[in-house]
Structure formats: structure tokens, C-alpha cells
A and B are shown apart, each in its own frame.
Chain A
Amino acid sequence: MANVVTSKKACTVNPLKMSQPIGAVLAFLGLDQCMPALHGSQGCTAFGLVLFVRHFRENIPLQTTAMNEATTILGGMDNIEQAILNIWNRAKPRIICIASTGLTETKGDDVDGYIKLIRQKHPELADLAIVYVSTPDYKDAFQDGWSRAVTQLVQELVEPGSVIPRQVNVLAGSHLTPGDIEEVRDTVEAFGLDPIILPDLSGSLDGHIPEEFMPTTMGGTTLADIRRMGASQFTIAIGEHMRPAAQALEDKADVMFKVLDRITGLEASDRFIALLAELSGNPVPNKYRRQRGQLMDAMLDGHFFFGGKKIAIGAEPDLLWSIGNLLAEMGCEIGVAVTTTHSPLLEKMPAAEVLIGDLEDMEQRARGCDLLITHSHGRQMAERLEIPFLRMGLPLFDRLGAGHRLSVGYRGTRDLIFEIGNLFMANAHEASPATWMPPQQECHDCAPATTH
């Protein structure tokens, strides 16, 4: 049980948090033939685009309604209309998804109303899906934007239908990489089930090389699939922040759901596998029985290096929950837990305190820890503190393969244990004569004169 506190500073230093609108954008990037756009000024889009390009090392389709001072004050109806028409004419997407920004929310644009008017004015857009989500920058954080975007997609696009046997929905949280999602798909399919994954970054941002140039996303959940989600037998939501979307699906199409708070760790993976066995009525395939054994073996081999280690983690709530719990289950102490936004998970964290704060807060508390875990922006802190550093989360701009990192299921957990265990091993301190010297004595020889 953790005490959840919010940083009291006026000034955020070295942000851990990123904004809601780009969280929504990333969710939209998991849809097939989609063009996401931010309703705001050009800079917000440019920053989001650069961020994702550097993380995924992939082309990122993302547009802007290009608001300026005057259009903001007058209202953005014209800009949204033009943006939709221009995107439609130039990129021919199946779906345009718009997220608001702080600027247009401050003004209070009625975008839903605008879209209704635009639909009336332009019957030629009848086949184009348009989804709008409200995501002011000055509220909440990245994963909230993702969560709202997915909920909105469900509310607007899913159609109720009679149950298609074996079809299941998977609502994937923002803490899952394309590699994680691929693992989830393989696992679900191994039980003879047909998953529809929303959003599906493994289809769009997995690094495939298309034969033709596409101005929109290439791959991801198709519009038809989203509509069919109402006919699924069941919904599995991965990550607490997917609960609202799962609830919306149930409300709209009567599809029952279960939220898996995480699928990293032995017991967490067991729950996932057991659920699939139950849903499918099939026995657990041999492959997973073998992988389960390998994970247990990794835990046995690795626990020597994990026991008693103190860890500092800075991550969005659902990633913090997944990784923090795994490490606690391996015998580590979560010495520092910093996160970006509220979540019902926070007070259940296996840590004394969870702080909603920034990387400066993390750095101040992390002295004496054995490992730092956060996104690439932790690099300066790691250098200053000289503590081993594992990059997790988003953005990872100074490492290759961010999209293919795997940390879910038996296999993903196994490899993560190896990776972290190797960091501990590589940084283990060799014994020297000084190791057991009483600290007092050592001080007499080396401390500067001022202390006496």
C-alpha cells in the first residue's frame, strides 16, 4: 500500500510527463489507413511528430488544423473543415481522428458541433469516418489521452451485433509496444481465438516495408474490425487505463470484459493464459507450458541478483505497475516510484510512496538506488548519479528497437529478468580491502580537513 502524493513545486523540472493530445495521437496511429490531426497550432503537431519519429524510427502521419492567434479567437470551424477536406483530397484515409489541444480547449471550440455541420455541408465525405476526442494539454497526461481516444473510438464506431464465436476483443494499453502486442496476438491465436486488437500498433508501427508509399498509417486495426467488435464473445482489456473503453464496449454492445491489470510476471501471465484457456475451452498449448518453465527457471537463476536491490522507477501508472510489481516479485525494493497522473493502481503499488512528479523529484530521491528505470530522458540523471539505467517507456530516442522491446507474457518476462539481472551483474562491486574497512577509519585518511 503506497502513500500517493503530488509534487508541490510550482516549476516542473525535467518532465517525466508528456501531453494528452499526443497520447491520443499514438492510439490513432494504431488504426489502419488513418490520418490523425491535432486541432491546434502547428508546433504541437511538429513536436509530437518528431517525438514519435525518434522513438519508432518510422514515418508518422500526423496533421494539424494550423490554428493561429486570429483563428483561435474566431473559432476553428473553418480550419477543421479545410483540414478534413485537404487530408481527404491528398491522403485519402479511411478515417480521420482529431484530438484537441490546450489552445483550442481554452477557447472552447465546439468541435463535435463543427463536425456535424461539416458532414451536412459535404455529403461526399459520407464514407469517411471522423472521430474527435477532447484532450486539453493542461489536464492529465499521455496515457489519459490514449485512454480517452480508445474510449471515443469504441463509442462512435463499434456496432452491436450477434455474437461471432471465437472472436475476442483486446483493448491494448499505451504501455504495450508493437512487439508486446504481437506477442499478445500470437498467444490469443494459439488458443484458436480470433482477436481484434484496438489499437494495434503492431500492424502500423512494427517497421514493415510496404511496396508503395502511403501518406496515411499502413496497417493497424481496420475500420471494419472496430465496427465488428460489438459482435465479439468477450473483451480483454490490458492495463487499468483501458477499463473505461471496455466499459463503453459493454454498455454499447453488451460484450462482457475483464481487465488484466498487467501481463508481465509469472502469476500475471498465468492469469492471462488461464483466461484464454477458459474463453476458448482449449487446453494450454505445449509452447506456453514450456515457456512457463523457462520463466520459472529464469526466476530461480536470477533471484540472487535481484534480492534486496533498491529500484527507482519513473513511468506512467500502468507501466509503473507492471514493472514495479515484477521487480517486487523478484525480491527488489521499490525505493522510488514517480509517475505522471492519477490512477487507482497507485495506492496499491508495492512501495512506501508514489509521487506524481518529474525527473528532478526522481533524481533527488534515487541516490543510493541500484537501478534507475525510466524513458530516455533519464540519461542525464543516470550520468550524474552514476547508477545503472534501464530505458523503458516512451520516448526511447537513443536506442534502437524501441518498438520491438518485449516485456509481456512468459517469454517477455523471462527476457526482461535476464536483461535487468545482467545490468546488476555488470555493475556488481568487486570486493577490495577497503570494502570491510570501518567507515570512521577510512574517513581519517581521506576526508578533507574542513570536516574536522
Chain B
Amino acid sequence: MTTLAKKVQEVFDEPACGKNQGKSEKERKKGCTKQLTPGAAAGGCAFDGAKIALQPITDVAHLVHGPIACEGNSWDNRGAKSSGSRLYRTGFTTDVNELDVVYGGEKRLYKSIREVIEKYDPPAVFVYQTCVTALIGDDVEAVCKAAGAKFGKPVIPINAPGFVGNKNLGNKLAGEALLDYVIGTLEPEYTTPYDINIIGEYNLSGELWQVKPLFDKLGIRILSCISGDAKYQEVAWSHRARATMMVCSKAMINITRKLEERYGIPYFEGSFYGISDMSESLRQTSKLLVQRGAPAELLERTEALIKEEEAKAWQQLEPYKARLAGKKVLLITGGVKSWSVVSALQEVGMEIVGTSVKKSTVEDKERIKELMGQDAHMLDDMTPREMYKMLKEARAEIMLSGGRSQFVALKAKMPWLDINQERHHAYAGYDGMVALVREIDRALYNPIWEQVRKPAPWET
């Protein structure tokens, strides 16, 4: 078995994954990536997933080894924000040509790494493998090793070519690369009993900065975030944190679990979306830190902060409650974030008339059931045509989804709000919840709806 095949197998075997616990060994080996249906498939590849997970590391040069398709069609299109280096937004690719495909692309890759280091001098280079270069047998690991030794810099292979699976698998393979090559290779200048990791938060639209002040107020230090607004060195010393918060369901569960296994760092799974979820995340963080030796007074301070912040948020939400109560929402997300958004919307009295659970785990589905009651409308695989109908007939009054499906709502002349990667607003924490509700209100009550729904005067 190739090293990549072994890695994929290992990732599928993830013991901390709730779905896996219910499976036989044989089922587990088959993995959790459903076979895609040709002609009826959607979603990004493993390379895409790996890039999503790692590109937010801001000072690293992210070099894509492959033909122009993989990087040329997609670079600088993700919303992760940086407080420092902009290097992560530079598109590097070997752009292999026909000759490379015939004779192998390793030489070009090696030269590319040299050029990148000479011109941009990053603390590390991440090299992403893609389909064509994997198929012709370019050994990215060996090239990275040789280049790393020659240039005296970490050159990290990210072996997640698109054709091994979907984005989720790519997230996990990216995590494996960090575990194999990065985490534990540097030491922080100093540590404190209040050091935490946040894993699976990408700082989209600056959401990390929306919650960081809350941790700051408690004196909790985010030692490393993987990977939102991260510097390479911060990821490299994440093994020195006292506790880990894992965000966004299972995307990077392997890192989280192995940090516990190897370095004894306990973790919990939380979300920054919604008031109660945010509070719960602060509470859990403090609890774990106190268990690991932080002074117990942290718990009281945490409760005091929660009380204050919740009161402030509710006060800000108050005017919206009457306007939004009973509004029917169709929530189409990748699934992983469904339950946290569901609870957030219910907090202001909105009614969720349907939510997609296509990519949700069994646990996620349970949480949704808990929140929405037994007759939760979980839609396993709703076609765009059905969504369109639902909106057109006003059985749903607003759709929240990712950018690709926006036109289903807009062409039905119904409001839509972007809640995925490319969104322009930050919705995390207490402020974020208020922002989300404000945006929903703006979308629902915009005066255009009345105008565009009216037929032209000569048509009546």
C-alpha cells in the first residue's frame, strides 16, 4: 500500500468519530466518503479541502504542484483574513506542462521551491499534491525532503490529490500533514496556565477576531489557532497548549485527538455560532483549563463575563424579535454547521422549515432533532428544483446557504443570505449573532422584494 493509501485508511479509522463507533471494522475500512454519482455530484476535491484547512496560515508559501486548473482557477478566492503577512494570498503553482507530464514534474517542483524561497523567504513552504502529478508518480514527499535539507527550511508535503476523495477527507489529510511535520517542532517563548488551541477555525471574514476579545477579557491566551490568522511557528508549538477547543464539527478531529493522545491536551467540541453555544464554549474552555491547573477563580470570572455579554446581546436582539418571530427559514449548509445555526436562529424565534443534513454526522442529526423536535425537516438530498418550489410557494421565506445555491432563492425572488466561506460578514460570538440577525432582518425587509414581485403594468 502506498503511504497515501495508508494515510487515507488511517483517517477513515478515526476512533473519536461518532459515526465510526457504530461500524464494523470492515465498514470502517471502506471509509466515509460516499461514492460519488457521476453526472449528479457536487462539492470540492480533497486538494480543495486541504487548501481550505491550511491556507489560512498566513506567512507560509502555499505551492500547488499540478497543471494550471487546480490553482489558476481558484486562487485568492477564500475569505480567511490575516493580521500580518499577506503571503498566503499569493498564488504559487508549478503549472506543469505537457513535457512535465511525459518526463515527470519533480525537477520543476524542486526548482519552484527554490524560486519561492529565494524570492519570498517564507518560514515554510507547503507543497500540495494534485491529481495529474500524483498519477504520473511525482514523489512530492521525496522532493520536499530534499529541498528542505538543501534550503534549510521546512518544506512540507500536503499529500491530498483531488481524486482521493472530497473536501472533508482533504481537511483531515491536511491535519495529518501538520501532525507529521509541523506540530511539536518549535517551542513557545513562554507558556501560561491559560494557553489554548482553537482547531478548525479559519478566521473567515475575521470571525476569530470577533471572539478573541472575549478570551482576552478572561486572560485566556490563544496559543495557536489552526489555522485562522496563524503564523507557522504558532502551529508548530501548539503541542504546548493546556486545552483545545475543536470548532466546526469533525473537520479536524484527527489533530485534536492526537494532540490529546501524544501530549495529553484535553479537548471539547464547541461552536462560536449562537449565544448559548458561545457561552458554552467559554464555559468549557475555562473548565478544562481549571482542570489542568489554572486557578479556579477563572470559572467565576467566566460566568460573570457570560452574564454580561448575554445580557448585552439580548438587549441588542430585542428589537428584532418581533420582526423575525415565526419567519420561515430554509437552511442549506454543508451540514456541519447546521445545528449551531439552527439553535442560533431559534433564539430569536425564527422557524426552521428545513435544513440539509447531507454531510452531517449521526451526532449532528441527533443534535438537530433535539433542537427542532422529532419532526425536524431534515433534508438528505434536496434538489435545487425542490428548494426553488419551496421558496416560490413561500413555504420558506428566506434561504440561508452557500454562494452556489443563492440563485435558487434569488431567481424565485426570495431573500437569501450567504453563510458559507465567501460571505462578507462575520457571524461569530455574541456580536456575530447580532450581526447575523441584523443581516437576516435587512434581507427580509429590503424594499426590493415588493417591487420585483409585482408584474409589469402591461401584464396585469
Query: Chain A residues in contact with chain B, CB under 8 A?
Result: 9-15, 17-19, 21-22, 37, 40-51, 53-54, 58-59, 63-69, 72, 79-80, 82-87, 90, 101-103, 106-107, 136-139, 141, 209-210, 213, 215, 377, 380, 397
Contact = CB atoms under 8 A, between A and B. Distances in A.
B312 interface: no
A42 B162 contact: yes
A103 B132 contact: yes
A384 to B, nearest CB: 9
Contacts of A46: 42-45, 48
Given A103-B132, A380-B89, A72 B404 contact: no
B76 interface: yes
B407 A86 contact: no
B: contact size bracket: 35 or more
B116 interface: yes
A103 B163 contact: yes
Interface of B: 36-48, 63, 66-77, 86, 89-98, 100-101, 108, 111-116, 119, 131-132, 134-136, 161-166, 383-385, 388-389, 392, 403-404, 406-408, 411-413, 422
B75 A42 contact: no
A48 to B, nearest CB: 6
A399 to B, nearest CB: 14
A375 B72 CA distance: 12
B135 A43 contact: no
B411 A213 contact: yes
A53 B416 CA distance: 15
A80 B39 CA distance: 8
Contact of B73 (A9, A22, A58, A80): A22
Given A13-B91, A42-B44, A107 B135 contact: yes
Given A12-B94, A63-B40, A213-B385, A43 B67 contact: no
15 contacts: A11-B63, A12-B72, A15-B72, A15-B93, A22-B69, A37-B39, A41-B131, A42-B44, A43-B131, A44-B162, A48-B73, A82-B39, A103-B131, A106-B132, A213-B392
B38 A82 contact: yes
Contacts of B392: 213
Contacts of A40: 131
The 10 closest A-B pairs by CB, nearest first: A43-B45, A86-B39, A83-B39, A11-B112, A10-B111, A137-B67, A83-B38, A59-B407, A43-B162, A213-B388
A18 B71 CA distance: 9
B404 A90 contact: no
B91 A15 contact: yes
Contacts of B95: 11-12, 15, 17
B69 A69 contact: no
A47 B36 contact: no
A381 B403 CA distance: 26
Q: Which of A51, A69, A79, A397 is packed against the most chain B CB atoms within 10 Å? A: A69
A18 B73 contact: yes
B407 A42 contact: no
A270 B413 CA distance: 42
Nearest to B385: A213
Contacts of A213: 384-385, 388-389, 392, 408, 411-412
Contact of A47 (B46, B74, B111): B74
B119 to A, nearest CB: 8
Q: Which of B42, B67, B408 is packed against the most chain A CB atoms within 10 Å? A: B67
A42 B45 contact: yes
Nearest to B403: A53
Given A15-B71, A102-B69, A106-B132, A54 B38 contact: no
Contacts of B69: 19, 21-22, 44, 47, 101-102, 137
A40 B41 CA distance: 12
A11 B115 contact: yes
Nearest to B164: A69
A50 B51 CA distance: 15
Contacts of B406: 53
A106 B100 CA distance: 11
A368 B392 CA distance: 54
Contacts of A63: 39-41
B132 A137 contact: yes
Given A18-B72, A47-B70, 8 more contacts: A42-B45, A43-B70, A44-B162, A59-B407, A79-B38, A83-B38, A137-B69, A213-B392
Contacts of B111: 10-11
B37 A86 contact: yes
A377 B76 CA distance: 8
A137 B135 contact: no
Nearest to A38: B69
Contacts of B68: 12, 15, 17-19, 137-138, 141
A13 B90 contact: yes
B38 A138 contact: no
Contacts of B115: 9-11
A145 B443 CA distance: 39
Q: Which of A11, A12, A68, A102 is packed against the most chain B CB atoms within 10 Å? A: A11
Contacts of B37: 66, 82, 86
Contacts of B90: 13-14, 380
A209 B410 CA distance: 9
A103 B47 CA distance: 14
Contact of B38 (A65, A101, A102, A380): A65
Contact of A42 (B36, B73, B76, B136): B36
B200 to A, nearest CB: 21
A241 B271 CA distance: 52
Contact of A11 (B43, B94, B136, B161): B94
Contacts of A66: 36-39, 41
B112 A58 contact: no
B73 A72 contact: no
B44 A47 contact: yes
A44 B162 CA distance: 9
A65 B413 contact: no
Q: Which of B43, B72, B112, B136 is packed against the most chain A CB atoms within 10 Å? A: B72
A270 B114 CA distance: 51
A42 B33 CA distance: 13
Contact of B135 (A44, A72, A215): A72
A54 B112 contact: no
Nearest to B166: A42
A53 B418 CA distance: 13
Contact of A59 (B72, B119, B135, B408): B408
Nearest to A70: B163
Contact of B72 (A19, A53, A210): A19
